[in-house]
A = this chain, B = another copy of it.
Amino acid sequence: MITSLDDTPLMEPMLPTYTDIVSAASRLDGVARKTPVLADTPLDDRLGMKLFLKCENLQHISAFKFRGAWNTMSRLTPEQRSRGVITHSSGNHAQAVALAGKYLGIDTTVVMPNDAPQIKRDGTERYASRVIAYDPTKHKREALTDNIIRETGCVLVPPFDHPHIIAGQGTAAMELINSCGPLKTLLVPCGGGGLLSGSALSARALSPGCSVIGVEPESADDAVRSFRSGRIERVQNPQTIADGTRTESLGKMTFAIIRKTVDDIVSVPEEAIIEATRLLFETARVVVEPSGALGLAALLSGAVRVQGRVGVILSGGNIDAPMMARILSPSH
């Protein structure tokens, strides 16, 4: 059995609360960037609503993941730090753990699929002590990671299903709402559910009337199905341009929070994700990776029909230049 960061079994996890997010925010103060919130963009007229774009694409390593990684790793004991940490991730969490490890002086091992975007591999290799690539069509990242932990005794920093990770990710929505005021709707990309569950905890506390809606690609719609069926559903190595959401399933903890606090989860087609990525470039001059554009994609595709004050978390900006070139080229 894999043990948690504090070496106790994770079978009966204590779910994090908004208090843990407040505590995470003080730990992140002066370390993570307080990313800007863009409002009054030309998207408002186009969509007939008042949008607030939380630019986590401008966070360290260009994704919200730094928040959770820092909140988790800065709490490790000296003994845990000396053992080093390991994680598995298709990209942004990997970079986040690697950078936090560099700042904190902790040895980092990253297990990463060999089809991760080049920009995410480069970013991870820049900071990680070592990167172990695997073929996601043949191996499961969790099993590979477990083997290394057994061999080396290093500490797992899970990509999403841990209270410290969730609390860290929740600080983005906390900053958003503290900056722009109450929202009618908050749209959040959903992969493993760390950002979505943390965001929902913040929204419940700071903007009680706000509908929190998760968004994932149609081809990786495990969270939509889980939300409907009431149990954790899975996808196998889904093919979507939104590589940050290829996670097999929600976690036990993120799913438990999502069931309690999230209003809906919707899915969007690939074309809407591409169109949203292009439109964010054209109208707000921001670089988002396809996963980061899911919230806007839900508005463009009609998966979510709302008016009023809408928060959208742009979760990351790590898109390879050639892919961005294809999305922006006139043939699209």
Contact = CB atoms under 8 A, between A and B. Distances in A.
A328 B324 contact: yes
Give the secondary structure class of A's interface.
Answer: helix
A296 to B, nearest CB: 16
Interface of A: 33, 35-36, 38, 40, 42, 55, 57-58, 60, 62, 119, 123, 126, 278, 281-282, 285-287, 317-318, 321-322, 324-330
A216 B309 CA distance: 41
A287 B40 CA distance: 18
29 contacts: A33-B36, A35-B36, A36-B36, A36-B55, A36-B58, A40-B60, A42-B126, A57-B285, A58-B285, A62-B285, A278-B321, A281-B287, A281-B324, A285-B287, A285-B317, A286-B287, A321-B328, A321-B329, A321-B330, A322-B329, A322-B330, A324-B325, A324-B328, A325-B325, A325-B326, A325-B328, A325-B330, A328-B328, A329-B329
A286 B35 CA distance: 13
A286 to B, nearest CB: 7
Contact of A325 (B40, B286, B329): B329
Given A42-B126, A287-B287, A328-B328, A282 B321 contact: yes
Nearest to A42: B126
Q: Which 5 pairs, one residue from A and one from B, show the smallest C-beta to C-beta distance? A: A285-B317, A325-B328, A325-B329, A321-B328, A285-B287
A13 B42 CA distance: 37
Given A36-B36, A119-B282, A281-B324, 19 more contacts: A35-B36, A36-B58, A42-B123, A42-B126, A58-B285, A62-B285, A278-B321, A281-B287, A281-B321, A285-B287, A285-B317, A285-B318, A321-B329, A322-B328, A322-B329, A324-B324, A324-B325, A325-B328, A329-B329
Nearest to A322: B330
Contacts of A328: 321-322, 324-325, 328
Contacts of A123: 42
A325 B281 CA distance: 11
Contacts of A40: 60
Contacts of A324: 281, 324-325, 328
Contacts of A287: 281, 285-287
